[in-house]
Amino acid sequence: LVPERLAGEEGVQRGLFELLADKWMGRDPKRGRAYTWLPRHLGDSAGRSSPRSFLEAIRVAAEQTASDAPLALSAAGIREGVQAASQRRVTEIGEDHPWVRAAMEPLRDLLVPCGLPDVQERWNDDVMNAVKDASANKLPPRHLTEGPVGLSKDLAALGVFQVLDEGRINVPDVYRVAFGLRRRGGVPPLRR
């Protein structure tokens, strides 16, 4: 059982995390606090993160941190943990919604955030048919008949796409990294 204070008090949680991990994701506060950085990079477009993704990130971070490091989790290890967690989350969403991979694969190497036209340009008829075929044994995207605009709505509903105020599309790191999309200054995408 988790002690009550640890379960309910953020200050206690942060203090414990900072006993395990580097305080900052770089040499100074510029890159952010490890305690808030990790869940922020594991969250979908609504900020929800899966416990499995979090545990995978921590496991890999611990494995990748040098044994002679002063703390159990280094900033570099945490970044590698996010990459592994992204791979796991993409596998999980693919099991429930196989069409997501067919929709996201053509977006590999796209720089996000980007405009919807940049996404639509890569979703030709072949991609839309691949999405439909991938849905043969599971529920298809609800708005597939609306074409690329509908497909982007469905990806947003799943938390894979985040529609920003100005209408641009962002992809949260938990999906972006494993699907191979790029972001300036972000966790590097996984390479094939």
Rama region for 186: left / alpha / beta (φ>0; ψ in -120 to 50; rest): beta
pLDDT tens for residues 54-74?
Answer: 999 999 999 999 999 999 999
Q: Is the pTM of this model over 0.75?
A: yes
Measured CA to CA, the distance from residue 54 to residue 17 in angstroms comes to 13
Res. 186: pLDDT tops 90: no
When pLDDT is averaged across residues 107-126 and rounded to a whole number, the result is: 94
Q: What is the dihedral of CA 185, 85, 33, 19, to 10 degrees?
A: -150
Res. 192: pLDDT tops 80: no
Strand partners of residue 169: 114, 163
Assess contact for 62 and 73: CB atoms under 8 A: yes
pLDDT tens for residues 133-163?
Answer: 998 888 889 999 999 999 999 999 999 999 9
When pLDDT is averaged across residues 170-181 and rounded to a whole number, the result is: 97
When pLDDT is averaged across residues 28-53 and rounded to a whole number, the result is: 92
The secondary structure of 38-58 as a DSSP string is: HHHHH--TTS---HHHHHHHH
pLDDT band at 28 (very low <50, low <70, confident <90, very high): confident
- Strand boundaries in the chain, DSSP class E: 162-163, 169-170
Strand partners of residue 142: none
Q: What is the mean pLDDT of the chain?
A: 93
In the chain, where the domains are located:
4-95, 98-179
